[in-house]
Amino acid sequence: MARAVVLDVDGTLMDTNYLHVEAWARAFDRVGCRVPRARVHRQIGKGSDRLVPEFISDDGAAAEADRLHGEIFMGMQEYALPLPGAKELIASLSERGCDVWFVTSAKPEELEKYLELLETEGRLSGVVNSADVENSKPAPDIFELALERAGFSPEETVAVGDAIWDVQAAHAAGIRTVAVLTGGAFSARELEEAGAAGVYEDCEALLRAGFPW
């Protein structure tokens, strides 16, 4: 069994991807860049430093869109809910002696609410977010830092994510990855082609399958 489990948050543990899509779409529109929500959805999971340039090239407008997204999203956070099996997965991993780490592009002010909703107190070994590294997902930096802080090798670790960006980043760090479909942007085939060792409906299905192996 893996000794450490590294979990993405948005779309994997928390039902927030569509809230982020809406917040980004509104933010882009307010800086004069109207982007179809379907296109935004496919970029969710990247750090904002990589997501925004997909749609905006002007540095000033990009910075303003990033600020607006944070402001708009915080106003929607009351609608953020844990996904099926998320709390139970974290509890089960902790009870079985696994080190549980979050790796996320979420901002610290967003994470505070998630930690409460997911009932992580006493169960979480640490959090690494995009602000801690030079390059955000799909670069491997965030996973490499999690390994360094946890003190485990890639072979002792498994990751869970919902987007191809999670799979690509973890794979580049040498970490075996399984994926869930709750993020909504990518099919099982796309996730497998990105390198996922397995794809499950949600965390509940992952737990039923006896994860981690």
Full-model pTM: 0.96
- pLDDT beneath 50, residues of the chain: none
| Structure token digits, residue 153 | 């090798």
Q: What pLDDT digit, counting tens, does each position of 136-159 carry? A: 999 999 999 999 999 999 999 999
Task: Tell me which residue of 49, 1, 53, 9 sits closest to 182, measured CA to CA.
Answer: 9
- Please give the Cα distance from 213 to 204 (Å, whole number): 15
CA dihedral 195, 200, 179, 158 (to 10 degrees): -90
Can you give the pLDDT at residue 57? 96
Can you give the pLDDT at residue 155? 97
Residue 88: burial class (beta carbons within 10 Å; 0-12, 13-18, 19+): middle
Terminal C-alpha separation, the chain: 5
Can you give the pLDDT at residue 110? 84
- Residues 6+ away with beta carbon under 8 Å from 130: 47, 48, 49, 104, 105, 136, 137, 142
Residue 168 near residue 138 (C-beta atoms within 8 A): yes
Q: In the chain, what are the domains?
A: 4-15+81-208 (3.40.50.1000), 17-79 (1.10.150)
